[in-house]
Structures are given as C-alpha cells and as structure tokens.
Structure 1
Amino acid sequence: MWNLLWPMLMVVGANTVYNICAKSTPEKLNSFAALTINYGVAAALSLLLFFVTTGGEKNLIQEIGKTNWAPVVMGLSVVGLELGYILIYRAGWKVSVASLVANLALACILVLVGVLWYKEVLTGHQILGIGACVVGILLISR
C-alpha cells in the first residue's frame, strides 16, 4: 500500500509547491529567465541525485545513450507546462481555480489517451467521472 501512496503524496506535495512558486514568480522577471533558473536548479539536483543513487557506479554518458524520444519530448513539454502556469497566473487566474481546471481537463484527456493509445478499457465509472469533471470545470470556471 505504501508503494502506491508515497509517490502520489510526492506528486501532490511537489505540485502544491510548484503552483505556489508559479503564482509567486515576480511579474517583472522575464518568464524565460525564471525557467532558466528553474532548470538550472533542477539539472543540478538531478545530477547530484544521479550520483548519490548510483553510488558513482554508473556512467552518465552511457545512461544518456540508453534513452529514446520520451525524455527529450518530456523536456519540451515541461517548458510548455511551466510557461503555461506562469502565464495563467499572470493572466489573473486564482491559484485555487487554475490548477483544478487544468488538472480536471488533463484527467479527461488522459482517459481518452489511455483508451486510444494504450488500449485501456473505458468503464462506466470513468465515463461518469469524465462527466463530473466537465460539470466541475463549468461550475468552477464561472
């Protein structure tokens, strides 16, 4: 059970801090300068954690050679995600609403991606959940 719970708690906790930081990014700071700082910190921490978790036994260059398209495209999507959140908050969205609307819409889209791309089965509960998400988006966005 803990193996299922702790990653979810990490995502929720990190996403909470992330949205607070996105909302708190100074308006006078160029968005891309903010992203450069974000990625500099993230790269340094990732590099440190790579060496800590491998005990220095693995070669980073060899690890990079094992990659495919996914980490590269994920990096591109993270720029869009982070820039999007900074711009959402600068446009005036409330922190209590913006992330909720974005994540409800994301949940609906990922159900469709799961069905169409990964051949997951769409259940009646999921259909009801999508309906509830759409109604929630409409209610909270007014």
Structure 2
Amino acid sequence: MWNMIWPLVLIVGSNCFYNICTKSMPEGTNTFGALTVTYLVGAVLSAVLFVVSVKPAGVLNEISKINWTSFVLGLVIVGLEAGYVFLYRAGWKVSNGALTANICLAIALIVIGFLLYKESISIKQVAGIVVCGFGLFLING
C-alpha cells in the first residue's frame, strides 16, 4: 500500500512548494536566470541521488540506457516552469492558476491517451470532462 501512496505524497507536497516558490519569485527577476539556478540545484541533487542509487561501476551502464526522452523532457520542463512563472506574473491566483492548468492538462491527456495510446474514453470520462469544463467556468467566470 505504501508503494502506491508515497509517490502521490511526494508529488502533492512537491507541487505545493513548487507553486508557492513560483508564485513568490520576485517580479523583476529574469525568469530564465532564476530557472538556470533552479536547474543547477536540481542537476546537482539529481547527480548526487543518481550516484548514490547505483553501484559505482553501474553509472556508465545506466547512462547508456538513456534515450531521446531525457533530452525532450529537459526542453519540456523549461517550458512548463517558464509557463507557470509567466502565468503567475500575468496575475493568476495560486489557487486558480494551477487548478485551471491541471484541469486543462487532465482533459488534454484523456485525448492524448485516446489518440496515441488507444485508450478508451468512457461515458464517465466524458461526463468528467463536462464537469471539469463547467468547473473552469465557475472558478474563472
């Protein structure tokens, strides 16, 4: 059971701090300069955790398994981070901005799952999309 719960707790906790930090970034700070520092800290932490999590002889073996997804993910993460900074600088409230983005993301992922991964879309999911759309109208209207 804990194997199912701890990643969710990590995601929710990290996302709370993520949005607090992003919303609190000083207005005059260059977004990409701040992201550079952010990713340097993230790179150092990731490197330390990587080295600690594999046997020293396994580092090169693990690196050899990396494919195009790590490079594209790096590009996508910069877009994601910059998008949130600009979202909050545009005046979105922390309570509405992230919620609106995540509802839109959930709807987009249902469509992507259907188109790219041949996942089925149930009547419940269609109803959920309608409810989410109505919820977006209510919180942002």
Q: Quickly name the TM-score band, shorter chain normalised.
A: over 0.9
Q: Distance in 2 between matches of 1:118 and 1:126?
A: 16
Q: TM (normalized to structure 1)? A: 0.94
Q: Distance in 1 between matches of 2:128 and 2:107?
A: 8
Q: What SS does structure 1 have at the residue aligned with 2:58? A: coil
Gapped runs of 5+ residues in structure 1?
Answer: none
1:76 aligns to 2:75 (yes or no): yes
Q: Distance in 1 between matches of 2:134 and 2:105?
A: 14
2:62 corresponds to? 63
Q: For residues 2-46 of structure 1, what are the alpha-carbon distances to aligned partners after superposition, in whole Å with 9 as ceiling and x for unaligned?
A: 222211111111111000000011111100111001100000000
Q: TM (normalized to structure 2)? A: 0.95
- Stretches of 4+ aligned residues off by more than 3 angstroms: none
Q: Distance in 2 between matches of 1:90 and 1:17?
A: 17
Q: Which has the higher helix share?
A: 2
Q: CA deviation at 1:64?
A: 2.8
1:122 corresponds to? 121
Q: Distance in 2 between matches of 1:58 and 1:65?
A: 10
Q: Percent identity between the aligned chains?
A: 49
Q: Which moved more, 1:18-27 or 1:119-128?
A: 119-128
Give the letter aligned to residue 37 of structure 2. I
2:106 corresponds to? 107
Gapped runs of 5+ residues in structure 2?
Answer: none
Root-mean-square deviation (CA), in Å? 1.1
Q: What SS does structure 2 have at the residue aligned with 1:112? A: helix
